[in-house]
Amino acid sequence: MKIIIVKKDTLLFDEFKFKCSKGKNGTTKKKIEGDNKTPKGLYALGQLYYRKDRFFKLSTKLKKIEIKKNLGWCDDVNSKFYNKPIKISNKIRHEKLYRNDKKYDLLIPIEYNSKKPKKNKGSAIFIHLTNNYKKTQGCIAIKEKDMLILLKLINKKTKIKII
């Protein structure tokens, strides 16, 4: 089964249809770090990162990783940790995963540019939460209630197709 993101800011999975938001500048086949575009293509999904203090019991077949206060995601093109989870450091540019705004309380990395990351091709592309469907910097964002449904349906073999 595939999750499909269609042009009309819609996420489709099986018979489910969810409203979503994606990159401020649309989608692209030529993703560049900081272009605010969502990368087009077919990708695997990573593990579920979650805030244990906000979600006690999650129903999912994905492997779960707790988001601790010192967890970040490297978006520093000059780092050997580019597009990987890291322990937060002032020496490395990063996206902070432990946030007050709840955006990253549940997040699934989209396996884009992740196996052997190419510098400046884009990093930290996630499926994460939104409360207002505001356009993203390249991620896919859905409401919490929809994410909780999606988590019950998907597994580690699920792919995401971004059109």
CATH of the domain at 31: 2.40.440.10
Taking the model in full, what pTM does it have?
0.96
Question: Which pLDDT score is estimated for 160?
Answer: 98
Question: Which pLDDT score is estimated for 116?
Answer: 94
Determine the structural domain holding residue 121 and report its residue range.
Answer: 2-162
Nearby residues of 9 by Cβ (< 8 Å), 6 or more positions away: 19, 20, 21, 22, 133
Number of structural domains, the chain?
Answer: 1
pLDDT by residue (tens digit) across 34-78? 999 999 999 999 999 999 999 989 999 999 999 999 999 999 999
Residue numbers in the chain where pLDDT is lower than 70 = none
